[in-house]
Amino acid sequence: MARKFFGTDGIRGRANDGVLTADLAMKVGQAAGRHFLRGDHRHRVVIGKDTRLSGYMMENALVAGFTSVGMDVIMTGPLPTPAVALLTREMRADLGVMISASHNPFDDNGIKLFGPDGFKLSDADELAIEAALEQPQPFAKGADVGRARRIDDARGRYIHAVKASVADDIRFDGLKIVVDCAHGAAYNVAPSAIWELGAEVIAIGVEPNGLNINAGVGSTSPAALMAKVVEEGADIGIALDGDADRLIVVDEKGQTVDGDQIMALIGSQMAASGQLKGGGVVATVMSNLGLERFLASNGLDLVRTQVGDRYVLEAMRHGGYNVGGEQSGHMILLDHATTGDGTIAALQVLAALVRSGQRASELLHLFDPVPQLLRNVRYAGGKPLENAQVRQVIAAAEAALAGKGRLVIRPSGTEPVIRVMAEGDDEQQVEQVVAAICTAVEAAV
């Protein structure tokens, strides 16, 4: 069955414009609620959100949908995506919902669903909900209608959980850390957790107004953090995205450290301490060849998946791995969380910094990345990658890079762009290959 609503990370789009409306949100609540009404207990769903203005509208619509089919609702207010996953499991809920469009601008929004185990829904569950979205759902009657309430201790529960991911003997005393929360869901919890572990915290991106999430701050816009780290003479900088499931680090010199370097650090350190499972790390096809070579030099494997943290997670669970992620900063540490958690990953990096006694610039640049170039080509519709001329140019590029690099071309799962990535030891060749393919795609669209 073709997907009409669900993409690689839930349902996402422009809020109140096109598909993602309050009406759809209410139907998602009804369809997902009915799908998870299993057994004769009182059913409940946990709903969290980031700081987007449209989150109020989406939250109320979802509450109406869930309660109308007989499911009780627990609302947490603004909270990171991994916190919703955690609370779904810890509070024995039947379902968890995060209202967020992650790193996208404020006028987008999305709906992410978690099962009772705290993991994102399977393809089968999403397809079943898809089918039910366009069918009327039976309403609950009388006393079976659901109730809704807000809880006040959600942030405290999550802060306690992320602090517990750090060994008892680790403290961050003496560290000056800049924390950029992207004016998003972690604006309160991430600085608090790091401060409570002893650090001096300088927080930026912590003044959400509904319209400024990810605007010039956060993991996708690290310039503000880079400048602040240097200005303050900080030891390290931490950047999260709008829903705090991804992490980018900035060292004391103001240099960015991406997800590949973070995976190299966490994976190799856990291997050295005997904590790494599966004999390697899981990442996507976008991760740099340098990471693969670094892991191999340490006797570790790199298992690649298609792009999307859900596919990384599937491979981790199937193969028994406990460390995985994406170059973009999604870090999945299954010993501590059921989904990507930027705050927990940040704490592992900070703990490694404390143990090593090194500067961040010494600790966090473990390999030299192979020259890699990624460009996006926006398109309005159609299937440009099926164009004959585009296919011919791609074939020529693959032949040129054979044995010397890699080529990855794919449509984004969250926005209408074609992503063209090439890497290889010859930087000039990489640039030429990407330029040729992008030109062909632009001509086709």
Residues catalogued as catalytic: 102
Structure tokens at 413: 């799962």
DSSP state of 134: T
- Beta-strand pair 247-251/256-257: antiparallel
Q: Are 98 and 52 in contact (CB under 8 A)?
A: no
Q: Are 360 and 249 in contact (CB under 8 A)?
A: yes
What pairs with residue 176 in β-bridges?
200
Amino acid at the residue 31:
A
CA-based R_g, the chain, Å: 22
Amino acid at the residue 397:
A
Phi, psi of 288 (to 5 degrees): -70, 145
Amino acid at the residue 85:
A
- What is the b/e burial string over 263-278, where b = at least 16 CB atoms within 10 angstroms of the residue's CB? bbbbbbbbbeeeebbb
DSSP H or E segment with residue 252: none
DSSP H or E segment with residue 413: none
Q: What whole-number distance in Å separates Cα of residue 318 and Cα of residue 32? A: 26
Q: What whole-number distance in Å separates Cα of residue 10 and Cα of residue 15? A: 14
